[in-house]
Amino acid sequence: MTAIRILFDEAQIKKRVEELAQEIARSVPPDVMVVGLLTGSFVFVADLVRELGRIGYTPRVGFMRLSSYGRGRESSGEVKLKGDVPEVAGRHVLLVDDIVDTGRTQAFARELLLDQGAQSVRACVLMDKPSRREVAVATEFVGFSVGDLFLVGHGIDYAEQYRYLPYIGTID
């Protein structure tokens, strides 16, 4: 078993998701289209849309599957769309991802959604690694910022393992 050091426990994540929902509610319409990036964001998207619902929002939800990591620890540097793009024409979109690292995936996804006719696109990430940025991106809503750590848990994987963990940790 790989040693995992806990960075953010369940209670910290829950509190931050509640705060993010309040921040989002101040700047996006109640019927916002939430587009999660699979697979890493699925737990965060579920938490976030439930919290938005608790405060009276009625978000629609869709997913896109993008890939740049494969089974390794380093980004390949090339982002690929796998599958379809949700219907976003004329809608305000909240792009939700687990991590913004190099910025390539977020930049690619934002451009793709705008090309598909989204009225606006704002980004929300659970984890931000600003020291790893290679492409400038505007992430309007950030859960937690961390250094150059390899993260797992709360939907985030390493070689398709550890997504089930209820906390966010790092593999040392």
Q: How far apart, in whole angstroms, are the C-alpha atoms of residue 38 and residue 65?
A: 5
Query: What residue type is 133 in one-letter code?
Result: R
Q: Catalytic site residue 101?
A: yes
Separation of alpha carbons 41 and 99, rounded Å = 8
**Distance (Å, whole) CA 51 – CA 46:** 9
Pick the closest to residue 96 from 161, 150, 51, 152 (CA basis): 51
Of 67, 133, 57, 69, the C-alpha closest to 94 is 57
Tell me the C-alpha to C-alpha distance, in Å, between residue 50 and each of 45, 53, 87, 124: 8, 5, 21, 15
Q: Which of 47, 97, 98, 101 is catalytic?
A: 101
Say if residues 124 and 20 touch (Cβ distance below 8 Å).
Answer: yes
Catalytic residues: 101
